[in-house]
Chains A and B, each alone.
Chain A
Amino acid sequence: MSSPDRLVYMANQIGTFFRSQGHDKAVPGIADHIKKFWDPRMKRAIFAHLDAGGAGLEPNVLEALTSLKQP
């Protein structure tokens, strides 16, 4: 799982759903979804991937994760 590929795929899937709601709704929507449903070790792994540049993450998702990472 923490193979970042799988988490990146899952995060982008969430991003795809919210995309049609427009950037301003999508970013908080994605952040909230991941906050509510992901286990801490999954969050840690995706944040680590984010710190490493976040390769493969869609722009909205990248922004959402960045906002989520800040306490």
Chain B
Amino acid sequence: MSLIEEIDYGTPRSKSETMVTLTIDGKEVTVPEGTSIMRAAMDAGHQIPKLCATDMVDAFGSCRLCVVEIEGRTGTPASCTTPVMNGLVVHTQSERLKKLRKGVMELYISDHPLDCLTCGANGDCELQDMAGAVGLRDVRYGYEGENHVFAKSHGEINAAWMPKDESNPYFTYDPSKCIVCSRCVRACEEVQGTFALTISGRGFDSRVSPGMSESFLGSECVSCGACVQACPTATLTEKSVIEIGQPEHSVVTTCAYCGVGCTFKAEMRGEEVVRMVPYKDGKANRGHSCVKGRFAWGYTNHKERILNPMIRERIEDPWREVSWDEAFSFAAAKMRGIQKKYGRDAIGGITSSRCTNEETYLVQKLIRAGFGNNNVDTCARVCHSPTGYGLSQTFGTSAGTQDFDSVENTDVAMIIGANPASAHPVFASRLKKRLRQGAKLIVLDPRRTEMVDSPHVKALHLPLMPGTNVAVVTALAHVIVTEGLVNETFVRERCDWSEFEEWAAFVAQPKHSPEATAILTGVDPNDLREAARIYATGGNGAIYYGLGVTEHSQGSTTVIAIANLAMATGNIGRPGVGVNPLRGQNNVQGSCDMGSFPHELPGYRHISGDAVRDQFEALWNVKLNPEPGLRIPNMFDAAIEGTFMGIYVQGEDILQSDPNTKHVVAALSAMECVIVHDLFLNETANYAHVFLPGSSFLEKDGTFTNAERRIQRVRKVMSPKNGMADWEVTIALAKAMGLEMNYSHPSEIMDEIAALTPTFAGVSYAKLDELGSVQWPCNEKAPEGTPVMHIGGFVRGKGKFIVTEYVATDERTGPRFPLLLTTGRILSQYNVGAQTRRTENVVWHAEDRLEIHPHDAELRGVRGGDWVRLQSRAGETTLRAEITDRVSPGVVYTTFHHPDTQANVITTDYSDWATNCPEYKVTAVQISPSNGPSDWQKSYDEQARHSRRIAPAEAAE
């Protein structure tokens, strides 16, 4: 194993299909039109010296190191900014060029420290490489002149010198090492789209400046790491590299945070991670990253990680560390005991969208084949289950329709109930790039998100009231139908025409018009009409949506309404269009594919189907139960009722992430055996009897499937710190319960999945190693996977229009609870925060805050930073207020990353009609000033501290 070196071609790839042939250093090269001479030379294997060019950003032509000679042209043009032309004859090396380049390097080095041996970039410095490449042996100018290098020169303070900026927790900015190539500035603009960096001053005074000469942490910088990656010197360097040194080998793997599924190189020394670097061949991220995947992996060796199995009889007892064997037999005896006492259906389990496909598959297998029931569910229940229902009803399959590359062909993007800039940042960067090229953006969100308000992006924002999605999307359809904007050819060809006619007549009713619905939605009818026209007629229209769509009483209805909209306008079945659910966690798509839902086996096949069950029964050698099992909210209800008494929870914190915390506490307290399998003593573990330590994504092999259905390898880069990878833990638990599972490597689990699941038939580790990734479905019809779905026809045959009547949620505002609370995420934190709160990311977000409009705040006497009491019909909590007009009057907003805030104490039991996905996004609340934590918070904290005690180990005899 060695360090994976990616070729830097110097300038981006040209997408042109016209080819151009030229001669470089006597070699004939054929490249796409628009390619730079620099890139063409690299294609031919000749590396032209360069400093300011890198293939992640457009050419800039400032360093003048890449000069070449072209026969018949005067001067020495920069090869990075000069495009190829047919018949050019280029020379990349000559006496004149050598002299010029040496001169350039002399000037650079005369203002650069010569501390190479102790420099953080030693071994990975392009400036050093170029000094070597041009044969620099002497600097005639000396080092005594004006410079940025020394704090003092000639005994005087050197005003041009600037100290290191170490404000960012993950990287340093050392201005004395900067050569002002502006690669960082351009990466921030072109790749990330934040525009946090600029070059201040001119000439010798030019400096890289975050914001208006602020610190990195104090500026708009979002710490994505693109600038650090782009920097050719030690100016911007990961602190981990400064501390540890250069990595010696690297392994390509997949990020375990959000549903974008970025590919990274884990750069290692032995079993220690030095840094995570986004991989340019990663098809989801194309070499980009965000602060979480790039930097926030420190949780994997956080001191609070639990590495030994633990058990206890009662949750009031302290934990007792035991051997793996004792933990498994304790757990198995408890679970079997419950089944004996309460019946076979009295236990179940929850698979994790954070774990691998293989691990998820094993957990559902353990439940169906080992527990003998179908009480298996996954955290997708509480996020995207309505997507599964809605899209399978209309299109025939529950998956998003596009790959992320599709956005490069999008002309109109409509974002509904999602904030990719915070929750799917790398996708947001790719979208913003397209928007800066001229694509239009429509945002439907109660809040003015970062997507509405970002540099060089002007969105048409429809700030709807929480809970009115169906009314707004149906009003969009009303405009499209009544203004004659339907793509009739598409609908006649691809969809059921009579169902369409029924639907069209329904949406055309005057009561669905933007004017008629404005009173409840709060959306300006003119804006809504404009949005409908743009989406229907603006070229390739793509819808991206998130949990602001699904987590409602009418979540499934909104998904159906979105699908209707895409079908009516013909925005399905080609690059640039589609209906794209943005999945919250890394493996939401995969955990659904793997049969985590109680009603269906892997591959979305209903458990009642005899043929499908026969197939699984034959291979697993058991009889399967044909009835659907309990969904998560049903499990809680059944626990309180006394018919569901034991649960195995892998990698999910149901207590913190599920709604109405008090209800969840009551359910967990009622159970006789709660098995938590996790990295940390999470909130759920406070009510657990068995704790099985988990392994991080760095410690195991497997696959994740991202939001674009891309199946990618997760590769083990270190031994599991707890001694066992998660899939091995499930196998051992199954064995203790009498179910033999024989796998020696996750690849064998994938082989079984492929054998049993038609849409996975073509997937194997060998193929993933060969192709890097494939997109589901992957079988004999699509051996290399399916980037875009429903080309030429829908999976179900004809696309199905379904009418979507708006029904107000039963969660209503009134005199006691006059405000609507909605929830969301922030860039630096991830979900319940179990991982990110245990990293330096807390510098950006140390607590959840309540966003409230100045008008509502003033009415209640609340000032910025004040503690406020947030109260709903379900419960109350306290947190600090942030006054902002990002939210409309009447709407308040908070994040849910911190257990001490417990935003879910507030959320209610209401759920989606079709899937029981909880209605997180609408809760009627009241706000009042407060002095500090509520009684609930205090008693919760007390219980948590009590429950987390671990008994001291007994002294050895």
Contact = CB atoms under 8 A, between A and B. Distances in A.
Interface in A2-58: 2-3, 6, 10, 13-14, 16-17, 19-21, 33, 36-42
A41 B553 contact: no
Interface of B is mostly: loop
Nearest to B606: A36
Contacts of A3: 637, 641
Contact of A1 (B634, B802, B913): B634
Nearest to B630: A39
A41 B638 contact: yes
Interface centre among A17, A36, A40, A42 (most CB of B within 10 A): A17
Contacts of A33: 914
Nearest to B667: A1
Contacts of B554: 17
Contacts of A38: 628
B803 A1 contact: no
A38 B634 CA distance: 9
Contacts of A19: 805
A17 B634 contact: no
Interface in B548-565: 553-554, 556-557
B561 to A, nearest CB: 12
Interface string B900-940: 00000000000001111000000000000000000000000
Interface residues of B, number: 33
A33 B553 CA distance: 16
Nearest to A12: B913
B246 interface: no
A38 B607 CA distance: 12
A1 B911 CA distance: 13
B913 A14 contact: yes
A41 B641 CA distance: 11
A2 B913 contact: no
B629 A39 contact: yes
Nearest to A6: B637
Contacts of A17: 554, 556-557, 805, 807, 913-914
A38 B627 CA distance: 8
B345 A1 contact: no
Contacts of B915: 37
Contacts of B914: 14, 17, 33, 37
B807 A1 contact: no
B506 A20 contact: yes
B428 interface: no
Interface in B597-654: 598-599, 606, 608, 627-631, 634, 636-638, 640-641, 643
B637 A13 contact: no
A42 B556 CA distance: 21
B803 A20 contact: yes
A1 B641 contact: yes
Contacts of A40: 345, 627
Contacts of B557: 17
A2 B641 contact: yes
B628 A1 contact: no
B634 A39 contact: yes
The residue in A16, A19, A33, A41 that gathers the most chain B C-beta atoms within 10 A of its C-beta is A41
A27 to B, nearest CB: 16
Contacts of B629: 39
B102 to A, nearest CB: 74
Contacts of B637: 1-3, 6
Contacts of A39: 345, 374-375, 598, 627-631, 634, 638
Nearest to B556: A17
Given A2-B641, A6-B637, A36 B345 contact: no
Interface in B786-804: 802-804
B168 to A, nearest CB: 48
Interface in B578-612: 598-599, 606, 608
B638 A37 contact: no
A17 B559 CA distance: 13
A17 B803 CA distance: 9
A41 B638 CA distance: 9
A37 B628 contact: yes
B641 A36 contact: no
A2 B635 CA distance: 11
B500 to A, nearest CB: 14
Interface in B522-538: none
Contacts of B805: 16-17, 19-20
Nearest to A36: B599
A13 B631 CA distance: 17
Contact of B643 (A14, A36, A41): A41
Given A36-B628, A40-B627, A41-B345, A21 B803 contact: yes
Given A17-B557, A20-B805, A40-B345, A1 B599 contact: no
* Residue among A3, A17, A19, A39 with most chain B CB within 10 A: A39
A42 to B, nearest CB: 6
Contacts of B606: 36
Interface string B788-826: 000000000000001111010000000000000000000
Contacts of A2: 637-638, 641, 643
A32 to B, nearest CB: 11
B634 A42 contact: yes
Contacts of B375: 39
Contacts of B636: 1
Contacts of A14: 913-914
Contacts of A42: 630, 634
A17 B374 CA distance: 26
Contacts of B802: 21
A47 to B, nearest CB: 14
B563 to A, nearest CB: 15
The winner among A1, A14, A33 for most chain B CB atoms within 10 A is: A1
A41 B642 CA distance: 12
Nearest to B804: A20
A16 B554 CA distance: 10
A53 to B, nearest CB: 21
Contact of B599 (A10, A21, A37): A37
A41 B631 CA distance: 12
B659 to A, nearest CB: 14
A68 B643 CA distance: 24
A33 B640 CA distance: 25
Nearest to B608: A36
Given A20-B805, A39-B634, A42-B634, A1 B627 contact: no
Given A40-B345, A42-B634, A1 B640 contact: yes
A43 B630 CA distance: 11
B553 A13 contact: yes
Given A17-B913, A33-B914, A37-B628, 17 more contacts: A1-B637, A1-B638, A1-B641, A2-B643, A3-B637, A13-B553, A16-B805, A17-B805, A36-B599, A36-B608, A36-B628, A37-B599, A39-B598, A39-B627, A39-B629, A40-B627, A42-B634
11 contacts: A1-B637, A1-B638, A10-B913, A16-B805, A21-B802, A39-B628, A39-B629, A39-B631, A39-B634, A39-B638, A41-B638
4 nearest A-B pairs in the assembled complex, by CB-CB distance:
A1-B637, A13-B913, A20-B805, A39-B630
Interface of A: 1-3, 6, 10, 13-14, 16-17, 19-21, 33, 36-42
